[in-house]
Amino acid sequence: MLLDTVEHETGPNPQWAVLWLHGLGADGNDFAPIVPELVRKDWPALRFVFPHAPVRAVTINGGARMRAWYDIRDFDLESRADLAGVDESIRQVDALITHEVERGIAPSRLLLAGFSQGGAITLAAGLARQQPLAGLIALSTYLPMPITTAQERLQPQAHTQPLFMAHGVFDPVVPPAAGEAGMQAMRRFGFEPHWRRYPMQHQVCAEEISDLGDWMTARFAAVQG
């Protein structure tokens, strides 16, 4: 079954989609307010899709049940993510992408974005894509698996996907070093990350939204040109 979603279209008959994954404990409404701040007048019509992650017990939060893309077992980056949960979420993301294809939007016109835990799924799903997307956006996040595991899942054409990654230098939730390690790993896998750091904590900021808008403008031009 498809995950429930919040959707917002910026114009009639959108030919592009942005699938945006929220962070731990939030839901699909969390990033919906970013649409008017991000979207530019000269962009093509977009369909923003903000799915709700399933509700599950999260070990690191005392087993409390909340919306999460996977269980977080401990603070150690090498073992914190429940890989079965990561794989389940990748399948759910793939189902949402297939749904957009059925609605007339090709993968080459779909951007996959995510913040924090949602960004981790964006990176993991991007590695596993056999059919490349228009781009990947990973904000304040990390690679949720060991390098060797990620290498095993890497598809031959995955590295052709443009990648925007950004992190706050004062992030107390996902250490900046973890974000940079994820970026360097993606670089070793053949990606060319557009990497930015901002003087912020575990959040987004106006400068980041502006830089992301510039990057998205380039993605639209690359396909339409």
Which of 80-84, 153-157, 200-204, 215-219 is the least confident region? 80-84
From the list 71, 116, 140, 194, the catalytic residue is 116
Q: What is the mean pLDDT of residues 22-34?
A: 96
Catalytic, 82? Answer no
Q: What is the mean pLDDT of residues 30-49?
A: 96
pLDDT over 60 at 225, yes or no: no
pLDDT over 80 at 224, yes or no: no
pLDDT over 90 at 25, yes or no: yes
Q: What is the mean pLDDT of residues 127-147?
A: 96
Catalytic, 116? Answer yes
The sign of the dihedral angle between the CA atoms of 81, 86, 89, 90 is positive
Better-scored residue on pLDDT, 74 or 11: 11
From the list 8, 52, 99, 202, the catalytic residue is 202
Q: What is the mean pLDDT of residues 206-217?
A: 98
Q: Which pLDDT score, from 0 to 100, does residue 81 have?
A: 80
Question: Across the chain, what does the average pLDDT equal?
Answer: 95
Catalytic, 171? Answer yes
Q: What is the mean pLDDT of residues 84-111?
A: 97
From the list 27, 71, 82, 171, the catalytic residue is 171
Q: Which pLDDT score, from 0 to 100, does residue 156 have?
A: 96
pLDDT over 70 at 110, yes or no: yes
Neighbours of 71 (CB within 10 A): 19
Q: How far is CA 76 from CA 60, 71, 116, 145, 170, in A?
A: 11, 13, 16, 11, 19
| Residues of the chain above pLDDT 90, percent | 92
- Per-residue pLDDT tens for 41-89? 999 999 999 999 999 999 989 999 999 999 998 776 666 688 999 999 9
Q: Which residue has the tokens 């949602």?
A: 118
Q: What is the mean pLDDT of residues 1-9?
A: 95
What are the start-end ranges of the H helices in 59-162?
83-102, 117-127, 147-153
Q: Which pLDDT score, from 0 to 100, does residue 77 have?
A: 67
Model-level pTM?
0.96
**Integer-rounded Cα radius of gyration of the chain:** 16
